[in-house]
Amino acid sequence: MKKTKLVTLALTVATILLGYSVSTAATYTEYEMYVKRPSNFAGNTYYTGAKYEPVTGAYLGLFAEGDRAVHDWNADSWGWYFTNVPKFMGKDHAMYMLYMPYSYDFNHYKSHYAEAKRLGKGMQICIEPQNGLDEVQNDEKLLEMAQDARDTDIPIFLRFANEFNDNANAWHKDGPQKYIEKFRLVADIMHKNAPNVVMCWCPNDWPIASEHAYYPGDQYVDWVGVSSYPPYNSSKQPWQGNTWLDRFREVYDSYSAKKPIYISEGAPMANAERAYNVDTTDLAKREISRFYASAKKKYPRLKAIFYWDNNQELGAGNIRHYKLSDNPPTLSAYKNAIKDEYYLSSMNTQSKNYYQLIKSVKMNPNKEVVTSLVNDVKNDISKVDYYINGKFAGQGTFPEYDASVDFTNFKGKSITLSADYFNSVGKKVKNISYKIQVKN
């Protein structure tokens, strides 16, 4: 099986430069305790009923076509990411991502769709109208695209004209009204002719809150995605003052009650933005670990994460480094981060567990996994000590902060569950406590 020529990466790389030097995003500092519970406790609390949506958990997704360690586009299918990613990264992924100009025949990647079908994988296909939105018409081409998408017989996340709120993209200049018109047109055709396709509305996370004017309406949007990259400056600080966990919060808060949310692409850089010779591997490694450990707690309606495993060449020798195979520490961090069964390797599955905020639940009178979410750009928290009524009950370490805490002796009682948070040099920087009830 041979693949046709790779679409030029320069045309498809997410441009995240907009606004970096002129704006500062909200910075959140959060310390919260959670308890790990079987997913059946959640019921449909975090489920909207969208096509392909897991009730709990988040699909693992990846753009790996540019990483030659896992993908050789000149080889047959056994040299592709479908086969090599599980071996290289220690875990299979449920979905993979490809980019395609609108002018291309949808079957440009037909061999990839066939391999995805053979392996039971989904595909995120990013359709980019690089000649502007007017090239999208209610015509035979669009109908053929829908029919070809249907014939793949795989779950397709159709990410149409993504990052429309970023002025680096050709379709941005057409404005919100034209964008909405064309998104609705594509959605109507796909919904009518391709039942395996979900329409994905996917802004950039920056400028914050700039996406709302482009929303096509609930009947046209199946999933809401967001491109999210956390850059660092030459002083090795978050460029806009916030963590990866914060960058897409505004989109999540605005739309997650009615649509499943996903990271349509994203990754931390292993070098500094606009100071590309400054290595930020340690920061990227920690950000990967922190993000995957925290997102499953903070954002239960986040249902898929597509990691961007590719570098971006900017010219004049400048490169944004994201590629995992180029950086063993970030690769190791990613492999460890995705081990948790919460992150799903197969479509149409769900996680066995989920997380509840402790201050809003009652504890069971047995051993429970108590854990923490720490979101703090100023302090690297290395460990957490947990206490029941002032007595030591367990310890958790970065990045999960999990501890098995025994509530057996407190059956039917009201207790104080508290936590002390310590930085990397052993200094306590935070204490939180909850008054909670233990069940009979």
Distance CA 274, CA 234 (A): 8
Q: Predicted confidence band at 25 (pLDDT cuts at 50, 70, 90)? A: low
Q: What percent of the chain has pLDDT over 70?
A: 94
Q: What is the pLDDT of residue 8?
A: 36
Q: What is the pLDDT of residue 27?
A: 77
Token digits for 371? 């854990």
Kindly tell me the sign of the dihedral angle through the C-alpha atoms of 359, 362, 367, 369.
negative
- Residue 75 pLDDT more than 50? yes
Burial class (CB in 10 A: 0-12, 13-18, 19+), 391: exposed
Average of per-residue pLDDT across 40-44: 96
β-partners of residue 397 are: 383
pTM score of the predicted model:
0.94
Q: Which residues of 91-110 are buried (b: 16+ CB within 10 A; e: fewer)?
A: bbbbbbbbbbbbebebebbb
pLDDT in tens, 178-205: 999 999 999 999 999 999 999 999 999 9
Q: What percent of the chain has pLDDT over 90?
A: 89
Q: Which residues are catalytic?
A: 163, 265
Average of per-residue pLDDT across 387-411: 98
Q: What is the pLDDT of residue 241?
A: 80
pLDDT in tens, 265-312: 999 999 999 999 999 999 999 999 999 999 999 999 999 999 999 999
Distance CA 155, CA 348 (A): 10
- Residue 117 pLDDT more than 50? yes
Average of per-residue pLDDT across 39-61: 98
pLDDT in tens, 228-274: 999 999 999 888 888 999 999 999 999 999 999 999 999 999 999 99
The identity of residue 194, as a single letter, is A
- Residue 17 pLDDT more than 50? no
Distance CA 19, CA 67 (A): 28
Q: What's the mean per-residue pLDDT of the chain?
A: 93
pLDDT in tens, 87-97: 999 999 999 99
Considering only CA atoms, which of 162, 211, 213, 158 is closest in space to residue 188?
158
pLDDT in tens, 319-367: 999 999 999 999 999 999 999 999 999 999 999 999 999 998 999 999 9
Complete domains list, the chain, with CATH: 41-351 (3.20.20.80), 354-438 (2.60.40.10)
Count of C-beta atoms within a 10 Å radius of residue 125: 23
- Residue 16 pLDDT more than 70? no
